[in-house]
Amino acid sequence: MAKDQEQHTQDRDHQERGARLGRGTLIIIGGHEDKERGREILKEVARHVDGGRLVIATVASHKPEGYFESYQQGFDGLNVGELTELYIDERPEASHPEKLALFDGARGVFFSGGDQLRITSQIGDTPLEARIREVYERGGVVAGTSAGASVMCETMLVKGPSRESYRIGDLQMAPGLGLVRGVIIDQHFAERGRMGRLLGAVAQNPRVLGIGIDEDTAIVLQGGHFRVIGSGAVYVADGAGITHSNIAEARTDEPLSLYDVRLHVLSAGDAFDLNRRAPLPARDLDSGAAQ
């Protein structure tokens, strides 16, 4: 009996510190997804849209010209109904009726790349953000690539050095849209050597899982777990078992010291349970064993 109670407590704790998700699907892409050949990631987005309207949000770009046209070509022939573009030049536009009407009957939203701070500063806590959440909560898909991937989190990575040891104080983070909580996401991961800055983010808050996503690679999040698709890898850094960190004591120009971080490397077909913080065999995912 005591053992069952202990397991119940552990499961409850996992749930409390794990990801909180809506009823829909998040497709979080590491950038540079293939738009010409196999188009595996775009096909996954189209599968969830299932012939409905997809809103292409180019909000992250200071100069959005060409982004929408590239996705028109990329989604051509993939069973996406109407494609519409959402761009916000100034924050008050996020309350305009014609912008909000773009989401009437929409089955999905796709955030393109650029600057994630443009997304949060232009649409955060606006009626337009509420419409995006409505799409997600009623079972639609919200996808994002590059900056559009980072912004999915409650706290997002904004700036930090790549291809060098992480120096304490180098990292800049800001509030994201919070569509998934309990994780922090970085993109263009292997291509830009971002392991150091992801570990720096996890060191600052070991409660969160750090997820790094390679280019032309995505995680598909549903119901507390994700599966990996695409040509690269996904890296999950778990700091729950950290036994030493100098993040609070060292000077800001010193390199990070961190012991006993757990690292998982996943490729296409692999899956991960965010609540239990553990890889999930694909057969369990297919059989519906994940909760």
Catalytic residue among 112, 146, 150, 245: 146
* 164 in active site: yes
Tokens encoding 144: 């994002």
Residues 6+ apart with CB under 8 A from 15: 275
* 188 in active site: yes
Residues 6+ apart with CB under 8 A from 65: none
Is residue 70 within 8 Å of residue 41, measured between CB atoms? no
Tokens encoding 54: 């997809």
Rounded to the nearest 10 degrees, how much is the dihedral formed by the CA atoms of 83, 84, 88, 91?
Answer: -110
Is residue 175 within 8 Å of residue 155, measured between CB atoms? yes
Catalytic residue among 112, 188, 215, 225: 188
* 85 in active site: no
Instruction: For residue 101, give the DSSP letter.
Output: G
Catalytic residue among 6, 82, 164, 254: 164
Distance CA 190, CA 137 (A): 32
Q: Counting every residue, how long is the chain?
A: 291
Phi first, then psi, for residue 81 (nearest 5°) are: -70, -110
- Residues designated as active site: 146, 164, 188
